[in-house]
Structure 1
């Protein structure tokens, strides 16, 4: 009878061990998921800023004489600017949306059809709530990643260049500031 009793305690101990390992694995999974989500958020901040900078570069680059200043009509114009006879790139490559893993981005379109910014199509709730770079302080308190809008502010660039609502002349510097926009989408 002592052998059967000892076997029962061994089985009971093994069950507690398996239950403890299950709890530890669940906790590890939660920690891993949180770390992965935070990494995606860092990637979104980097990629969104790359698009905003590329749009700003497209706007501010010194243009050939007689070429009107405008925003890009699509992402392809950021990879190869059609306003120049030689190769001019404002963006190294297309980037995927880190939050959705897809090629589609929400686009901010100006009345002339030019793209002034991008945002993720993810409706997920951000972990990051504070300590954003100054240019993106408005992301604090965002309800979803689609509220993280990476926008080049054309009106501000025109004001800074002393142009009012007209296009800035070739070679003038312009500043980019994020802001709200439309709900268009784009897939490169």
Structure 2
């Protein structure tokens, strides 16, 4: 075996180790990018949850102001009874919970019956822990999304 062949064999092993290190580095970079994307997606769902929860709060408030009672079901927010002379829609549609992608809201009961609000059924810890809008300051430092109660008092 000549000197050139031995040197080439040693260099071939070095190239393999270098390529393996490159593959590991690319894998770590992809994992970090996936983590960033997952966090961004959760922040987007949080923003949607705050918007949808606000819509339910406003709809329940409008319902209460007009009828002086809380709705018994979320479906009542979609419109008046079919025999009513004027259809009033307090909510366009039943929005799903962005954290679960289902209309599986936990209903917050009113003291005298009916529904005074909704909350998510998700037990995940929120990313947002401060700087909430007026009316949502109680959400600060909540341990789970289910602690964010969108209620009309």
TM-score normalized by the length of structure 2:
0.91
Aligned match of 1:58: 63
Gaps of 5+ in 1: 62-67, 154-188
- Name the SS of the counterpart of 2:101 in structure 1: coil
Residue 96 of structure 1: CA displacement? 0.8
Structural mapping, 1:90-129, within 5 Å: 90-129=90-129
CA distance in 2, matches of 1:111, 1:46: 25
Residue 117 of structure 1: CA displacement? 0.3
Gaps of 5+ in 2: 1-5
- Please tell me whether residue 44 in structure 1 is matched to residue 49 in structure 2: yes
How many residues matched? 147
Residue 2 of structure 1: CA displacement? 1.8
TM-score normalized by the length of structure 1:
0.74
Give the aligned CA root-mean-square deviation in angstroms.
1.4
Residue 76 of structure 1: CA displacement? 1.1
Q: After TM superposition, which residue ranges in structure 1, 4 or more long, deviate above 3 angstroms? A: none
Residue 112 of structure 1: CA displacement? 3.7
CA spacing shift, 1:58–1:84, aligned 2, 3 Å? farther
CA distance in 1, matches of 2:9, 2:97: 60
Aligned match of 1:89: 89
- Name the SS of the counterpart of 2:45 in structure 1: helix
CA distance in 2, matches of 1:69, 1:143: 33
Residue 74 of structure 1: CA displacement? 0.7
Q: Which has the higher contact order (CA 8 A, sep 6+)?
A: 1
Residue 75 of structure 1: CA displacement? 1.2
Residue 113 of structure 1: CA displacement? 2.7
Higher mean alpha-carbon deviation, 98-107 vs 35-44, is at 98-107
